[in-house]
Structure 1
Amino acid sequence: AKIQAVHRGKQARKELQKLKEGDTSEEVVATADTAPPEETEPAPSKPADESEDDAVASMVEELIKEVSASIEPVGGADDDDLKEQAAAALKIQAVHRGKQARKELQEKREMEAAAVKIQAVHRGKQARKEMQEKHEMEAAALKIQAVHRGKQTRMELRKEREEQEAAALKIQAMHRGKQTRMELRKEREEQEAAALKIQAMHRGKQTRMELRKEREEQEAAALKIQAMHRG
């Protein structure tokens, strides 16, 4: 135990020296892991990031345990060793927290970038959807206008056809009326002509009867004169 404590103190001083020189790379973590491990059961394998974080956390916990165990001085372990070990543990904790903070910041930035991308995709999709709806509405409006114009045109054509048919019927009625009037006039003229002819025939017969009567009277008078003259 004493030899291990001395070795761990020496190892902690090396790590502290590297941290003071600004070396916060993975080598610090790797060096810290070179301390003789206590006998433990093998842990199941984990992903690279989780294994690395667990290694750092285990290292920090180990150093803290060492510092705590060294509070009761062991032969060969002085106050300087304790202070250096404590400083190294705190420094490693700070490095680990910085790395964790950078990792969280990177994840936050990636999430924000992904959110912005998703929003952009959503807005693009929404814009395309609105544009599609606008085109569909315009097409529907044009179709309704075309249907309305077609209906209006058919109504106008129907009205025009009805007016033409009404005008044709009126012309036909007028023509039939005129034809009827002409036929009636002709019939009346024929009737009047027949009446005049009958009247003329009647007057001719009357005249002939009068002439015959007059001639008969003249003949009778002539015979009477002749008889008187002979007698």
Structure 2
Amino acid sequence: MMKTTIFFSLALCAILATATPASASVLAVWNFGDSSAFYTESPAYYNTVTAPTLSLLGSGLDTNGKNGIAYTDSAGISHIAGQAAAWDDINKSGTENDAALIITLNTTGFSGLTIRWDYKSELAISFDFAYRTSPNDKWTQFADNRAITPGWATDSWYSVTLDLSAITAINNQSFVQLRLDDLVEGPGNDKFAIDNIEIASIPEPATLLILGLGGMALRMRKP
């Protein structure tokens, strides 16, 4: 009886994995900490094979972060208005902009990526976004001078969403890097904060099967 149950359970998981339309799944979320006393660049949670990493670059980086904004991610998980990553001056090196954010992640089992974030900008009016699939590759530009809205003076937050699903090169890869940089602005100091970075994707059928088997195994362990 047990073998029959296992067989039919496996068959059902396989059928569901191939027949059910895949819905978006959260790969990772960064909220940079739940309070002003706790700033972190580690993800709030992730569903990738290995933990993704986030690096902030720039001589004007605020290493303690700034106040963030509340957010509910696409999985329905709420993140309070804790901390945000920030730069006190994205133009610290004079006319050369040196502020950048780089995410490294493993997309094995996922395709059709999207990325979104909240931001608050003092003077910056645009950004660039690029990707690569090897640490030795050149960056490939995806967004060039994409417009954003300044709002620091009024404490106004805005959001950006980029649909990366057309970039098939970053699907199902053990190494993917995404880079946000070139926050274009005028001379002088320029603050910039970013919060609630969420990367979502469509699970491959095999990934859905594994998730289904994991759930079945948990149920079978129950008395």
TM normalised by structure 1 equals 0.17
Higher helix share: 1
* Structure showing greater Rg: 1
Higher strand share: 2
